[in-house]
Amino acid sequence: MIEITFITNGGKVVSAAPNSNLLRVSLKEKGGIPFKCGGGLCGTCKCLIEEGLENTDAVKPKERRHLKPEEFEQGYRMACQTFVNGNIKVSWAGRPE
């Protein structure tokens, strides 16, 4: 099992199977990552992988529509498109008003 730490949600730590989808784990474990569509269309689930970016899979084409190259370099991903293969720590901005 791997550990995912939801920094913005009080540092909540949950266990997940390798190759788990980040948004699905957040939904199942009440991690708190904001979302609307869950399918890579809206960009609401943009989050920052603060530790363990190397434990995520390759950036998907849907992510490239919402995030800039410099955001990927900083560690931003879309949770609905990201699969995790090792421990990570993730944060996100509050839900837009």
3-state SS track over the chain: CEEEEEHHHCCEEEEECCCEEHHHHHHHHCCCCCCCCCCCCCCCCEEEEEECHHHECCCCHHHHHHCCHHHHHHCEEEHHHCEECCCEEEECCCCCC
pLDDT at 94: 65
Give the other-Cβ count within 10 Å of 95's Cβ: 10
Task: Tell me the whole-structure pTM to 2 decimals.
Answer: 0.94
Residue 97 has pLDDT above 60, yes or no: no
pLDDT band at 8; cut points 50, 70, 90? very high
* pLDDT of the residue at 34: 96
CA 2, distance to chain mean position in Å, is 14
